[in-house]
Amino acid sequence: MMNIPCPFCGSRNEAEFAFGGPVKPDRSDPNTVSEEEWVAYLTQVPNPLGPVQERWWHVKGCGMWLTIWRDTRTHDIVEGPADAE
C-alpha cells in the first residue's frame, strides 16, 4: 500500500487513488500525423525498469489527477507532483 503525495491532501493511501497509467506524449491532432505515428501514440506505453512518470486520480479524495515519478523496482516515489501546494 503506497503512500501517494497529493498536492491538495498530502500523502494518502494508494487505495484512495485510481491508477491512470504511465504518462504518454501529448495528444497531437491526428490529421497532422501519419497513420504509423498515430498507431504508435495509441499503443505504445512507457514501461521502464526504473522511474516512470505516471498519472493517478485521487478519486476517493479531492478528485485531482496528478503525476508522480515512481520507481517500478521499489515503489519509491522519486519525484512527487510538480504543482504541490
Partner 1 sequence: MPSNRMDTGGRIDRDRPLSFTFNGRRLQGFAGDTLASALLANGVRLTARSFKYHRPRGIVGAGVEEPSTLVELLGDDASGNRPATTVPLRDGLIAKSVNCWPSPGFDMGAINQLIGRFIPAGFYYKTFKWPGWHLYEPTIRKAAGLAAAPAAPPEQGHFESRFAHCDLLIAGAGPAGLMAALTAGRAGLRVMIADEATEAGGSLLNRRLTIGGTPALGWVKAVVDELATLPNVTHLQNTTVWAYREHNYLMVNERAPDNPGLLERNWRVRAGQVICATGAIERMLVFGNNDRPGVMLASAAQTYVNRYGVRPGQRAVVFTNNNSAYAVAADLAAAGITVAAIIDNRTDVPEEARTLVEDVDVLAGHVVTGARGARQVRGVTIAPVDGGASRQISCDLLAHSGGWNPAVHLWSQSRGNLRYDDTLTSFLPDQAAQDATSVGAANGQMILADALGSGARAGADAAGITMPDIPTSADLTYAITPLWRVEQGRGKAFLDIQNDVTVDDVHLALREGYDNVEHVKRYTTGGMGIDQGKTGNINIIGTVAMQQGAPLEELGTTTFRSPYTPVSFGAIGGLREDSVVLPYRHTPLTAWNIKNEAFMYESGARWRRPGYFPQPGESFQETVNRECRIVRNGVGVYDGSPLGTFEFKGRDVGRFLDHIYTNIMSTLKPGHGRYGLMLSDDGLIIDDGVALRLSEHRWIVSTSTGHADAMNSHFEELLQTQFPDWNVFVTTVTSQWNNATICGPLARNVMQALGTDIDISPAALPFMGFADGHVAGIPARLVRVSFTGELSFEVNVAPRHLPALWDKIMTAGAPFNIAPIGSEANHVLRVEKGFLSLGHEVDGTVDPYDLGLGWVMSKKKTDYLGKHAVAIRRSGTTNRRELVGILPQPDQMIPEGAPLTPGGERRPTEGLVTACVYSTVHDRWVGLALLENGHSRHGETVHARLKDKVIAARVTPPIHYDAVGERLRS
Partner 2 sequence: MPYDVQIDRLPCFALFDLKGPATDLAAWADVLPAFPKAANTLTRHNGVDLCFTGRNRWILRADIAREDALIAALRPEKAPPEISITRVSDTLTFFRITGPDAAQVMLIGCPLDLHDSVFGPDAVSYSEFFGLKALVMRCEGGFDCAVEQSFGDMVADYLSRATA
Q: Which residues bind partner 1 (CB under 8 A)?
A: 1-3, 13, 18, 20, 26-27, 29-31, 35, 38-39, 42-43, 55, 57, 59, 63-65, 74-77
Nearer to partner 1, 33 or 48 (CB): 33
The nearest distance, CB 63 to partner 1, in angstroms, is 7
Query: What are the backbone dihedrals phi and psi of residue 30, each rounded to the nearest 5 degrees, phi first?
Result: -60, -20
Contacts to partner 2 from residues 40-69, by CB under 8 A: 59-64
Longest dimension (CA), the chain: 42
The nearest distance, CB 69 to partner 2, in angstroms, is 21
Distance from C-alpha of 62 to C-alpha of 65, rounded to nearest angstrom: 9
CA distances from 37 to 12, 22, 27, 42, 43 (A): 37, 18, 11, 9, 10
Q: Which does 79 bind (CB under 5 to 8 A by kind): partner 1, partner 2, none?
A: none
